[in-house]
Amino acid sequence: MLIELKQNSSFLESANIDTIYFGGGTPSLLTADEISLFIDTIYKYYNISELKECTLEANPDDLNKEYIKSLRNTAINRLSIGVQSFRDEDLKFMKRAHTASQADYSIKASQDAGLSLLSIDLIYGIPGLSHKNWQHNIAAMQALSIPHFSAYSLTVEKDTALFHSINKKKTTNVDAVQAAEQLEILMHECVQLGYEQYEISNFALPGKHAIHNTNYWLGVPYLGIGPSAHSYNGNTRRWNIANNTIYATNITENNKIKVYEEETLTIYQQLNEYLMTSLRTMWGCDLNYIEKKWGIDIASKIKRSSILYIDRGQMFVENYLLKLTTKGKLFADSIASDMFIL
């Protein structure tokens, strides 16, 4: 991965990088010295003079006091903790290694060590998770003074233990109606608690939006390093080999073998990607921006296609910005894909 960092320094050209994010897999298995080695390499080959946010994704069971203390000697200034639930029943169902008490401990220990820029993940739509218990999870999160969190519906990945268990009728499958209702509960509760839903899955107290997440949803270029990592520079999308062994074998100093595939996005692909990401945010889809970049005819066509969703109460227009209503957020991806310009 350090070799790949050196080789890809031109992908983002001379961009000022303001966020670093250690995510995917289990980066909290890295020691503080290994994290510093990555950061030192980034400093050497990239322009990060304007670095504002350096995040480490971590499992609750990895965050003991000694490890947290060691992180304070690195550039890490933010943690994203994979809590997923404050209920042991949910964690056992999802076959998580940590307990609810470990989740609670990891948050408090991080705060005590001065790492107050925290985010956690919560999962809804878990079979057996009642609406009352989902509200318990939201309240437990708020009681810990968490400034930012992400919430996702449980998805069943193919060939996982959960996938096979559901197929054999040993486990109840995910209920789409239950998941939708719990997202609606979340959106209602968060308004009461003062959180802004700045993207469908991301919530923050005012001024506490994750810079990294925001950049992604606003289409800012990014570089991903490692197996399965994705990169985007505004025109080109790149994705790495997923297999760890093939990745490690093929990446060499002389760069003779590519460890990635890539595609150059067409004008319409860039437009459709903008539609897909912008509609998920609180800032919405800017018709003025579309008109300037893709032309008045395209902007007019998108405006016309939005009428159906405005009539359904799923979308509204505010200062030439198309935004989803609470009802519309339940159908964000299908609405965006229906509005794609082909």
What's the pTM value of the predicted model, to 2 decimals? 0.93
Specify whether 254 is located in the same domain as 140.
no
- Report the pLDDT value the prediction gives residue 163, as an integer from 0 to 100: 79
Could you tell me if 193 and 301 lie in one domain?
A: no
Q: CATH no. for residue 324?
A: 1.10.10.920
Q: Is residue 225 part of a domain?
A: no
Q: Quick one: 15 and 162 in the same domain? A: yes
Residue 272 lies in a domain: yes
Claim to verify: residue 330 and residue 202 sit in the same structural domain: no
Kindly state whether residues 242 and 300 are assigned to the same domain: no
Per the domain annotation, does 38 fall within a domain?
A: yes
**Which of 264, 289, 319 delimits the end of a domain?**
264
Q: Do 255 and 271 fall within a single domain?
A: no
Enclosing domain of residue 25: 2-217
Question: 46 and 114, same structural domain?
Answer: yes
| Structure confidence at residue 169 (pLDDT) | 83
Do residues 51 and 102 both lie within one domain? yes
Question: Digits of tens for pLDDT over the chain (342 positions)?
Answer: 999 999 888 888 777 899 999 998 899 999 999 999 999 999 999 999 899 999 999 999 999 999 999 999 999 999 999 999 999 999 998 889 999 999 999 999 999 999 989 999 999 999 999 999 999 999 999 999 999 999 999 988 887 777 788 888 888 888 999 999 999 999 999 999 999 999 999 999 999 999 999 999 999 999 999 999 999 998 899 999 999 999 999 988 777 788 999 999 999 999 999 999 999 999 999 999 999 999 999 999 999 999 999 999 999 999 999 999 999 999 999 999 999 998
One domain, residues 58 and 97:
yes
Is 76 inside any structural domain? yes
Instruction: State how far the Cα of 263 lies from the Cα of 257, in Å rounded to an integer.
Output: 17
Q: Per the domain annotation, does 30 fall within a domain?
A: yes
Q: Are residues 237 and 299 in the same domain?
A: no
239 located within any domain: yes
Is residue 107, in this structure, part of any structural domain at all? Answer: yes
How far is Cα 19 from Cα 78, in angstroms, rounded to an integer? 11
Q: Is residue 224 part of a domain?
A: no
Per-residue pLDDT at 254: 73
Query: How many domains does one find in the chain?
Result: 3
The answer on 196 and 85 residing in a single domain is: yes
Query: 152 — phi, psi (to 5°)?
Result: -130, 150
Q: Are residues 35 and 137 in the same domain?
A: yes
